[in-house]
Structure 1
Amino acid sequence: MLQHLITQNEDLRMIPTDHDQLATAVDEIREGLRALPAGTDADRTRVLARWIGIGLLSLGNYHDARAFLRQALDLATSGGNTRAVITTELNLGDAYRYAGEAETAHVLYRQALDTAQSQHPELADFALQHFGKHLMEQGDLVLARAHLREAWRLRIAKGDPGLIESTQAALDRVELLIASS
């Protein structure tokens, strides 16, 4: 929904490709969320809230991002959608990590990884990638490398060049940090 307006910076964090365009797009999605009629499918509300949260996160508005991502997580949980719980926990973890709240981020990443490994192994690479980047920022470089290597292995098996490239960038970064420590 907003992927084309979001990229990663040198610290492997989401940032806008164009700040004004992303802000406008987020505002449009917010209006769409507000305009939903009563009784709208909870999944539609969840998806819109999640993308608003991701957009706000990329724009640096961590407080509001967390509110929308929490709403999306609550809807995913109440709807029993464990795939959406995993992906939203990862996004919410990012919102806490970007805001410097590492302990809360750690808990969310751990929950997402545990659930992915036990219930949705096809999402394990995403959880490992997010958790690995968190661990890297926290200075646990050996464990970060292990998580990222496993994510890389799983992504090679998936055969998605974009995912492989993303993980390779994170691995390169952690290897550089290890070499310089």
Structure 2
Amino acid sequence: MLDDLITQDAGLRMVPVDRDALTVRVGRLRQELAALPQEAEPGRARVLSRWIGVGYLCLGHHEEARTYLRRSLALAWALGDTRAVVATGINLADSYRYDGDGSAAEALYRSALDTARDRVPELVDFALQHTGKHLMEHGDLTGAEALLRETLALRIAKGDGELIASTRAALARLRRLTGQ
């Protein structure tokens, strides 16, 4: 929904490609969400809430991001959509990390990673990558390296070049931080 308007900065955080265009798109998604019949389409409301939250996250509006991401997460739980629980939990963790609350971020990343390992193995690499970037930002470079190497192995096994490149970029950043 917003992938074409989001990129990563040098710190590997999601940022807008075009801030104005992302702001407009998030506004449209909010209008679509507001127009949904009450409780008639919880799946669509979940998806829209998540993407609005991600958009606000990228725009630096962390409190707004958390409002929508919490709504999406609650809907994912209510719908029994464990895949969405993991993905949205990671986005919510990102909102805390980007806002400087490492403790809240860590708890959410660990919960998402545990859930992925137990119930959604296809998302383990996603959870590992984000948890690894969190650890890197908070100075646990050894822990970050272990998680990112595990991520890389999983992504190589998946054969997804874009995901492999993303993890290699994170490992390259880690090497720069450690002076290697």
1:1-40 correspondence runs (5 A) = 1-40=1-40
CA distance in 1, matches of 2:39, 2:177: 50
Q: Does 1:155 align with 2:155?
A: yes
Which blocks of at least 5 consecutive residues in structure 1 are unaligned? none
Partner-residue secondary structure (3-state), 1:7: strand
Per-residue deviation at 1:175?
A: 1.4
Residue in 2 aligned with 1:88?
Answer: 88
Residue in 2 aligned with 1:127?
Answer: 127
Per-residue deviation at 1:79?
A: 1.4
Question: Which AA in structure 1 matches 2:65?
Answer: A
- CA deviations on 1:99-153 (whole Å, 9 max, x unpaired) are 0010000000000000101111110000000000000000000000000011111
CA distance in 2, matches of 1:38, 1:136: 42
Residue in 2 aligned with 1:60?
Answer: 60
Residue in 1 aligned with 2:166?
Answer: 166
Partner-residue secondary structure (3-state), 1:110: helix
Per-residue deviation at 1:37?
A: 1.4
Per-residue deviation at 1:40?
A: 2.0
Per-residue deviation at 1:176?
A: 1.4
Per-residue deviation at 1:179?
A: 2.1
Residue in 1 aligned with 2:178?
Answer: 178
Question: Which AA in structure 2 matches 1:143?
Answer: G
Q: With structure 1 as the length reference, what TM-score do the two structures score?
A: 0.98
Partner-residue secondary structure (3-state), 1:11: coil
Residue in 2 aligned with 1:100?
Answer: 100
**Where do 4+ consecutive residues of structure 1 move more than 2 Å?**
none
Identity of aligned residues (%): 55
CA distance in 2, matches of 1:171, 1:8: 15
CA distance in 2, matches of 1:100, 1:106: 11
CA-based RMSD? 0.8
Per-residue deviation at 1:68?
A: 0.2
Q: With structure 2 as the length reference, what TM-score do the two structures score?
A: 0.98
Question: Which AA in structure 1 matches 2:52?
Answer: I
> Does the 8 Å CA contact 1:2/1:51 hold for their aligned counterparts?
yes
